[in-house]
Structure 1
Amino acid sequence: MLLSFQSILPLFLMIALGYLAKRTVFDVKMLPGLNQFVYYLAVPALLFNAASKAPIDNLINAPALAAFFIGVILTAMVVLVVSRTLFNARHAEQRVLRALNGTFSNYAYMGIPLTFAIFGEEAYVATVSIILVGNVFLIGGAQIFIEAIRQKEIGLKPILSILDRSLLRNPIFLSTMLGLFVSANQIPMPDAIDTLLIMLSPAAVPVALFCLGASLQFAKTSIDLAELGWMVFVKLCLHPALTLSAFLLLDINDPIWMATTVLLTALPTGALAHVVALKYDVFEKETSQIVVVSTVVSLLSVTLWMSGLQ
């Protein structure tokens, strides 16, 4: 456990440095620019490099992805039942956002830095796959559910609009798909472009974690403390536990895929869940608090998961 803690601690210290800098010397007006650099340049460069060098045949690991989806579905079902029975969440839209909070992880700003730093190149393929399916099916799926609830039904046009906003304008998705295209067709990269990507990629991990820390805001919200604790427990403990159980029940003997997938599901709630909450004005302040508290608590929980997985 000590070894796991020592390997993860520098990453969380970078998050703490971002928060401390915001409180002291860092001008918060610079944060949007840094976030844009990470989101549109550094992380896409890192993912493009990872995808372009990964054999495309290895990207689709059907048993591992099945275990991931089983973990998501079981976790969402538990959240829906408990939210309705214990926390009186009567509105269907609020239950959808609660399910999203319990299943969607901070893949880009924490998942990529953690898996790439801890597991190295062996985790590239699994990380890329989980990020793709997580963004497509969880973020896109949550929006489709809410649209269907509001419109009583949903047609092709709203679905295409959601996919357009979630995927076709998403630099993380586009850079990954472009990298896979390059890999599949074995397209050689010009030396200048390759050098540029090599320069950009290392910035993704420290700058993403710094921005994550600088964006943390601790404020009281209307969410009940019992429910806040429950949602944090679901995201950091129940979700990865159910995912690990799915791997074991399906008898998937791929340690890298299992460790990477479980670690990604053990991460705190991702900021994109808050973006969805803001867009539909549902469970917005509560989602913000879940993101912050789960991020702080994840220092301990991720260390424990890493210790168990190793």
Structure 2
Amino acid sequence: MAGIETILSLFFLIGLGYLGKRTVMAGHSLVPLNTFVYYFAVPALLFNSVYKLSLDSLFQPYYLLAFLLAAALTALIAGVGCVVLFKERDREVLIFRALNGTFSNYAYMGIPLVFGLLGEAAYGAMVSIILLGNLFQIGGTQFLIESHRQEGKGFKQFLAILDKSLLRSPIFLATFFGVLVSGLSLEFPTIIVDALDMLAPATVPVALFCLGASLEFKALQQSKIELVWLVVVKLFIHPLLTLAIFRMAGLTDHNWLLAAVFLAALPTGALAHVMALRYDVKEKETSLTVVLSTLASIVSVSLWVGWMM
């Protein structure tokens, strides 16, 4: 019941955004709100998630590599499926199709779901996987998009791409400095800690409000079957591959296994839409993928939890 209530709360926030854009915000741009989420709220959330934990509880390399391999294979399946089944050829569109098929709603659904089911014993695994997902899935998307848009070749060009996709990425920098602070056991003044604690919770409601405000159901008529494919990839193929790779690799830690499968089984996260808005690539279709996968997850997540638990 708690899982269904969480999903319904998500839809309420999306609905507020949809209503707001068509009433009091009619004609206004979403860019400032999206900028706030990307440059301020998300970094605060990620930094807060990592700097309070010890490095030993965060890094289990074999488990993290297994999760990353499953995500990479799922992204490949999502992209190849769009090429073969729907004749998609645009490289940037395929990059975002791969992101939509692999990036989970970690913050809003992942944390309450995994913590509620597994408790504190799985907290380190959950945070580690969430950080890895944000860093490699979002950072990897940025790197691929920037690589495609940059002209020229050579080492200098590679450094320019790296600079734009990672070294100026608030998501990467927040994660890096969170790990650094954790490793050095640094203490912050209370005023900074309190400010971060107030800023971080704004991520989810504002991102979901922007998502709802950007919904255009006309896009569903144009790419309906393709969006259904991405939902199937996200909700079923991604967690199934994650489970299979963990089993084949002999990784048997119960908390890491369940945390990885449950996080992979979540619907597409709203941050994928934030990225689509930022790069102006299929943002309407991305918003619909988030909504459709979230709606379908009421059933699919319940099935995964019932099977694995």
TM-score range, shorter chain: 0.7 to 0.9
Aligned partners of 2:204, 2:144: CA distance in 1, in Å? 33
Q: Say yes or no: does 1:112 pair with 2:107.
A: yes
Aligned partners of 1:158, 1:89: CA distance in 2, in Å? 28
- Structure 1 contact 140–162 (Cα < 8 Å) conserved: no
Q: Which residue of the partner structure matches residue 177 of structure 2?
A: 178
Give, as a single letter, the amino acid of the residue that structure 2 aligns with 1:113: Y
With over 3 angstroms needed to count, the CA separation of the structure-2 counterparts of 1:115 and 1:156, relative to structure 1, is: same
1:54 Cα deviation after fit: 0.7
1:234 Cα deviation after fit: 1.0
Aligned residues: 305
Q: Which residue of the partner structure matches residue 58 of structure 1?
A: 57
Q: Say yes or no: does 1:246 pair with 2:245.
A: yes
With over 3 angstroms needed to count, the CA separation of the structure-2 counterparts of 1:260 and 1:211, relative to structure 1, is: farther
Q: Which residue of the partner structure matches residue 158 of structure 2?
A: 159
Aligned partners of 2:192, 2:89: CA distance in 1, in Å? 53
1:248 Cα deviation after fit: 2.7
With over 3 angstroms needed to count, the CA separation of the structure-2 counterparts of 1:159 and 1:212, relative to structure 1, is: same
With over 3 angstroms needed to count, the CA separation of the structure-2 counterparts of 1:115 and 1:161, relative to structure 1, is: same
After superposition, the C-alpha distances for 1:42-82 in whole angstroms (9 at most, x for unaligned) are 33223222211111122222222122122123323433443
Give, as a single letter, the amino acid of the residue that structure 1 aligns with 2:182: S
Identify which range, 122-131 or 240-249, moves more after superposition: 122-131
Aligned partners of 1:140, 1:155: CA distance in 2, in Å? 21
Q: Which residue of the partner structure matches residue 82 of structure 1?
A: 81
Give, as a single letter, the amino acid of the residue that structure 2 aligns with 1:155: G
With over 3 angstroms needed to count, the CA separation of the structure-2 counterparts of 1:215 and 1:304, relative to structure 1, is: farther
1:240 Cα deviation after fit: 1.9
With over 3 angstroms needed to count, the CA separation of the structure-2 counterparts of 1:114 and 1:142, relative to structure 1, is: closer
Query: Does the residue aligned with 2:218 lie in a helix, a strand or coil?
Result: coil
Identify which range, 30-39 or 228-237, moves more after superposition: 30-39
1:9 Cα deviation after fit: 3.1
Q: Say yes or no: does 1:47 pair with 2:42.
A: no
Q: Which residue of the partner structure matches residue 263 of structure 2?
A: 264
1:276 Cα deviation after fit: 6.7
Identify which range, 117-126 or 235-244, moves more after superposition: 117-126
Aligned partners of 2:275, 2:35: CA distance in 1, in Å? 18
With over 3 angstroms needed to count, the CA separation of the structure-2 counterparts of 1:94 and 1:171, relative to structure 1, is: closer
- Structure 2 contact 70–242 (Cα < 8 Å) conserved: yes
With over 3 angstroms needed to count, the CA separation of the structure-2 counterparts of 1:296 and 1:45, relative to structure 1, is: same
Aligned partners of 1:209, 1:274: CA distance in 2, in Å? 9
1:279 Cα deviation after fit: 8.0
- After TM superposition, the structure 1 = structure 2 runs for residues 171-250 of structure 1, keeping only pairs within 5 Å, are 171-220=170-219, 223-250=222-249
Query: Does the residue aligned with 2:86 lie in a helix, a strand or coil?
Result: coil
Aligned partners of 2:302, 2:221: CA distance in 1, in Å? 30
Query: Does the residue aligned with 1:86 lie in a helix, a strand or coil?
Result: helix
With over 3 angstroms needed to count, the CA separation of the structure-2 counterparts of 1:287 and 1:189, relative to structure 1, is: closer
After superposition, the C-alpha distances for 1:70-106 in whole angstroms (9 at most, x for unaligned) are 212332343344334333345666544443432234x
Unpaired segments of 5 or more residues in structure 2?
none
After superposition, the C-alpha distances for 1:178-198 in whole angstroms (9 at most, x for unaligned) are 222111111111122222223
Identify which range, 67-76 or 275-284, moves more after superposition: 275-284
1:241 Cα deviation after fit: 1.8
With over 3 angstroms needed to count, the CA separation of the structure-2 counterparts of 1:77 and 1:35, relative to structure 1, is: closer
- Structure 1 contact 71–243 (Cα < 8 Å) conserved: yes
- Structure 1 contact 42–203 (Cα < 8 Å) conserved: yes
Identify which range, 223-232 or 183-192, moves more after superposition: 223-232
Give, as a single letter, the amino acid of the residue that structure 2 aligns with 1:114: M
Q: Say yes or no: does 1:15 pair with 2:14.
A: yes
Aligned partners of 1:44, 1:241: CA distance in 2, in Å? 30
After superposition, the C-alpha distances for 1:246-293 in whole angstroms (9 at most, x for unaligned) are 223333333443333333333444566567767888767655554453
- Structure 2 contact 99–272 (Cα < 8 Å) conserved: yes
Give, as a single letter, the amino acid of the residue that structure 2 aligns with 1:116: I
After superposition, the C-alpha distances for 1:93-121 in whole angstroms (9 at most, x for unaligned) are 6544443432234xxxx311222333446
